Amino acid sequence: MSVEVESKVLGHWHHPKIGKGKDGRAIFLPNMEYGKLLRDNNFKIWHDNYRGHSSRTIAKVTIYRVMQAGDLVSPSEFLELPTVEAKKLIRVVCNNLMAKGHTAAARQTISFAKSFYNFHHEDREIKFKRHEKPQVISKKIVHETIPHNSDVYKLSDVALGLRYRDNEKNKLLGSRNQAITLFLWQSGVRVNALCKLRYKDVKDYVEGRLNFQYLSQEFKEANIEYWENLGLKLNELPPLFLKVTPDLDTKIGSYGLSYYVTFLHHTGFEALKQWIDARVQATGKPLEPQDYLFVGFDFQNNKIGEKPLTTHLINHMIKTVAGRSGMNGERIWVHVLRKSFRKVLRASPTMDEETREALMGHKLRGSQGNYFDYHDIVQVAKLYMECDWSQGSGTKINGLTRQVETQDQTIKNLETELQKYKLSERTQEKQHDDRIKALEEKFEQILREYALEKAHVEYEKEYKKKT
């Protein structure tokens, strides 16, 4: 059930009804207006410094709560308070949140409200000592479940929604949800980066041009002989190379990384193509490069939307799918798929720790440059493909089996090279012998010609003496 909402911020939009208040009216989430905040110049300057959507949302929620608690008219009125009074007001908001059990939200309130106040004051600042901050006991790590390969494929099958295959709308959303599940797991990208992906990021790969724009010119112009010389085949490389920049993932910017590269395996790539094909068929027009890759559904007009999915909606989808698949939805959320990605990388005996951290988008300890600037991406892609992305458990035994198979193939390649070398050596020896023989014959011929010439000279001398 849903209703029409008129928002100062979002304009005319469609929002699901989630309950009723005491007066019988619908309750919405979020149930606050941010227009007054965004019209305040001091707030807008500070707010626009945050690049991430979630950070901007927290900034608005925090200052809105501070204004409510202090009965303030505008954010600028909060800035006019003395440091002691402003800190007391922040403590009031935190205490209210702590009383409701929202410890993490209380810590966020301190962080963002302090940032807003200090941003506009050079002569004074709010400070909170460590013991003044709410202590968060993380329950997620204790209760989280990191899914195995088989669990992830089970999630993707449920996300596809085979039960609703006769319903075109659910089939469309199912193909999208399956592609999201496998994309998050096989690429390891953070959910905020997934939300910002556009069709241009995957266009060349989906349309079959295989334009590896991040690799060397030699790789771009590769032919079958080149692949064989590397000991690779076309199906041994991932079908999609993804360059993640701070524009996609704001967190790597804080690490000082300009980019990192990750990949997508064949099963995830096929799911992605099925979602794109279904979307094109539903809209009746091809995707434009600037179109967001994963978008929502416009239930009001019963069609595919144009706005990107939010991190909240994707997390809700993963939890819902986990519950329907028989797993505990409280122990599964988006980030555990990224941890499952790392688990697969760690299970591979052929991949070193530095490569694993680089594929996770982490800053390498003690490194001054970017890992991908001085490593061969082709070889990194090969190591990625040697990981176990099958529906098995992804254990080290499977990895060792693949390592033995890889070593067997390497031995065969070396034996072939050795035979070629021996053949080449024998050929060179024969050519060398033929050359020596030719030189000897030439030398004998010169000696004969010299003897004849010498005999002729002696004959001429004798002839002159006689005459």
Q: Based on the domain organization, do 212 and 262 belong to the same domain?
A: yes
Mean pLDDT of 336-349: 94
Domain final position from 137, 161, 176: 137
Tell me what pLDDT residue 280 has: 92
Per-residue pLDDT at 4 exceeds 80:
no
**Of residues 426 and 216, more confidently modeled:** 426
Identify the H or E element spanning 241.
strand 240-244
Q: Are residues 384 and 256 in the same domain?
A: yes
Q: What angle do CA 14, 248, 146 make, to 5 degrees?
A: 85
Residue 304, SS3? strand
* 114 and 157 share one domain: no
- If we measure between CA atoms, which residue out of 56, 26, 313 comes closest to residue 194? 313
Q: What is residue 298's three-state secondary structure?
A: strand
In a domain, 268, yes or no: yes
Mean pLDDT, residues 89-101 taken together: 91
Model pTM?
A: 0.62
64 is a domain residue = yes
Shared domain for 295 and 182, answered yes or no, is yes
Residues 288 and 357 in one domain: yes
Q: Is residue 42 part of a domain?
A: yes
pLDDT at 253: 83
Which residues, including other chains, have CB under 8 Å from residue 109's CB and lie 6 or more apart? 62, 65, 66, 90, 93, 94, 97
Q: How many domains does the chain have?
A: 2
User: What was the pLDDT predicted at 168?
Assistant: 74
Q: Do 113 and 170 fall into the same domain?
A: no
| Gap between the Cα atoms of 211 and 228, Å rounded | 19
Task: Give the C-alpha separation, 426 to 404, whole Å.
Answer: 33
Q: What is the mean pLDDT of residues 146-152?
A: 92
Asked whether residue 353 is assigned to any structural domain, the reply reads yes
| Residue at 8 is within a domain | no
Residues 149 and 126 placed together within one structural domain of the fold: no
Q: Examine the domain organization and report whether 250 and 107 are in the same domain.
A: no
Using the predicted structure, report yes or no on whether residue 176 has a pLDDT greater than 60. yes
- pLDDT above 80 (res 422): no
Instruction: Pick 310 or 10 by higher pLDDT.
Output: 310
Q: Do 163 and 132 belong to one domain?
A: no
| Measured torsion, CA atoms of residues 173, 311, 264, 399, in degrees rounded to the nearest 10 | -110
pLDDT for 172? 85
Q: Averaged over 373-397, what is the pLDDT?
A: 78
Q: Establish if 10 belongs to a structural domain.
A: no
Q: How far apart are CA 395 and CA 288, in angstroms?
A: 41
Residue 288 has pLDDT above 70, yes or no: yes
Tell me, what's the pLDDT at 164? 57
Evaluated on CA atoms 357, 361, 362, 367, the torsion sign reads positive
Please report whether residue 457 resides in a domain.
Answer: no
402 pLDDT higher than 60: no
Range of the domain at 261: 145-394
What's the rounded Cα separation, in Å, for the pair 463 and 467? 6
Say if 311 falls within a structural domain: yes
- Give the CATH number, domain containing residue 152: 1.10.443.10
Is there a contact between 396 and 233 (Cβ–Cβ < 8 Å)?
no
Q: How confident is the model at residue 17 (pLDDT cuts 50, 70, 90)?
A: very low
- Coil, strand or helix at 285: coil
- Lowest-pLDDT range of 176-185, 217-226, 335-344, 357-366: 217-226
Residues 285, 151 share a domain: yes
Same domain for 72 and 97, yes or no, is yes
For the cut 90, the answer to whether the pLDDT of residue 290 exceeds it is: yes
Q: What is the pLDDT of residue 33?
A: 59
Q: Are strands 2-7 and 260-264 parallel, antiparallel or unpaired?
A: unpaired
CB atoms within 10 A of CB 244: 22
Q: Are residues 199 and 163 in the same domain?
A: yes
* Residue that finishes a domain, picked among 346, 368, 394: 394
